[in-house]
Copies of this chain bind each other. A is one copy, B any other.
Amino acid sequence: MSMSSESHPITAIDSRRAWECPWYAVRQDRILLPNGSEGVYNVVELPDAAWVVPVTTSGEIVLLRHYRYPLQRWIWELPAGSVEPGGSAEETARRELREEAGGKAAAWHLLLKSATMKGVGTEWAHLFLATGVTLGATAHEPAEVLTVHRFPAAEVLRMARAGEIEDAISVLALLLAEAHLG
């Protein structure tokens, strides 16, 4: 293609922190557009995050039933969480599997790295397949209102395609994992 992947047709003239909380921030940039006009771009600055498709030693998939306050509803989803400062996506995947689901895996495989908020924010999702998973005790934070469940893999894939798993990135991870399931 004629466009280089390295070219940056929109550039920042100025940048300031518009708002922040302990979990994310909004950066407000004054930008220069290709037509020479100026604009404002507000970028939600989020760390990367990891999602885990946990397949147990008996071939079941672990799902969480999680109350998601922003959606005001209980949804089915995979263990997932944000990368902490200095941490890696794979460490995060191991931690979330352990803390949210009480799980430990024999093997890990990166399925995909993909942007979740392309027009709005900076988050990249790292999607992992975890196999040989065994379940033990969980370690939930007070704001994590969830329970741990396991279903046959075929049933979870049916739920994903039917819209019964309402977290889009969980559905993506499950569809990508399908090719790896026996």
- Which A residues fall within an 8 A CB radius of B? 1, 3, 5, 7-10, 18-19, 21, 23-24, 26, 28-29, 31, 33-35, 37, 39-44, 46, 65-75, 77, 80, 112-122, 125, 142-143, 145, 147, 161, 163, 166-169, 171-172, 175-176
For this chain, the copies found in one complex come to 2
Q: Could you say which of B43, B46, B72, B163 contacts A8, with CB atoms under 8 Å apart?
A: B72
Q: Whole-angstrom distance between the alpha carbons of A39 and B69 in the complex?
A: 12
CA distance A55 to B35 in the complex (A): 31
The verdict on A9 contacting B67 (CB below 8 Å), with A115-B75, A117-B117 known, is yes
* Residues in chain B near residue A116, CB distance under 8 A: 116-117, 168-169
Contact A10 B69 (CB under 8 A): yes
The answer to whether B166 touches A115 (Cβ under 8 A) is yes
A46 CA to B31 CA, complexed, in Å = 22
A43-B70, A80-B119, A125-B168 given. 18 additional CB < 8 A pairs? Answer: A3-B147, A8-B72, A19-B19, A21-B28, A35-B142, A37-B142, A41-B69, A41-B70, A43-B69, A68-B115, A70-B119, A71-B122, A112-B163, A113-B163, A114-B168, A115-B168, A116-B116, A117-B117
Pair B115/A167 contact, Cβ less than 8 Å:
yes
Chain B residues lying within 8 Å of A3, measured Cβ to Cβ, are 65, 74, 147
User: Complex formed: what's the CA distance from A42 to B169 in Å?
Assistant: 21
Give the residues in chain B near A122, CB-CB below 8 Å: 70-71
In the bound complex, CA of A112 to CA of B174 (Å): 14
- What are 11 residue pairs bridging A and B, where the CB atoms are less than 8 Å apart in the complex? A7-B74, A10-B143, A70-B117, A70-B118, A70-B121, A71-B118, A80-B119, A112-B171, A114-B166, A114-B171, A116-B169
